[in-house]
């Protein structure tokens, strides 16, 4: 994201509303078909967002259940860093630093992965991934048509859609 404008503020608002209506812990722009490095989170009563995030991960790890609004009905243990320091910007272009542990650390990592084209099932060990893929194939929504992808109104400089 290079333009911190009205369009970006509208995107953050849409992401936040959609996330809260879906009872999610986070939502990234690519999940609603927008190729921009933006996500929102809602963890322990705190709602926030990050634009153009970069993460510093602790070497200490946590292993716990993880799910995704993009994969309804799936929750499976996934290893993540226990603590995260996230650097990024607000929707107004102001630098921000977010420190999180436990669930917030998990959400920050999960949503940043979406911005990089990674789903949490890509991070599972072989056996857990096989189990997850079986659950996905057996889901009622498996085989439904893919959502329509929208082109970002912001210059992507060759990154994203």
Query: Would you say 36 and 2 are in contact if contact means Cβ atoms under 8 Å apart?
Result: no
Q: What is the DSSP letter of 154?
A: S
What is the rounded distance in angstroms from the CA atom of residue 103 to the CA atom of residue 108?
Answer: 9
Burial of 131 (0-12, 13-18, 19+ CB in 10 A): middle
Active-site residue numbers?
A: 111
Residues written for the chain: 161
Query: Would you say 75 and 24 are in contact if contact means Cβ atoms under 8 Å apart?
Result: no
Q: What are phi and psi of 127, to 5 degrees?
A: -70, -45
Assigned token pair, 17: 């509303």
Q: What's the gap between Cα 90 and its chain centre?
A: 16
């Amino acid at each position: 994201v290079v333009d911190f404008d009205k369009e970006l503020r509208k995107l953050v608002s849409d992401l936040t509303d959609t996330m809260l209506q879906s009872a999610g812990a986070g939502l990234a722009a690519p999940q609603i078909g927008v190729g921009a490095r933006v996500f929102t989170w809602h963890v322990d009563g705190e709602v926030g967002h990050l634009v153009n995030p970069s993460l510093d991960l602790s070497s200490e790890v946590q292993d716990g259940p993880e799910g995704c609004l993009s994969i309804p009905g799936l929750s499976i243990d996934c290893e993540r860093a226990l603590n995260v320091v996230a650097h990024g910007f607000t929707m107004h272009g102001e630098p921000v630093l977010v420190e999180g542990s436990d669930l917030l650390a998990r959400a920050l990592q999960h949503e940043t992965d979406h911005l990089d084209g990674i789903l949490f099932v890509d991070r599972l060990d072989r056996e857990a991934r096989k189990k997850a893929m079986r659950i996905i194939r057996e889901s009622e929504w498996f085989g439904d048509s893919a959502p329509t992808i929208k082109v970002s109104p912001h210059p992507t400089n060759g990154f994203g859609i």
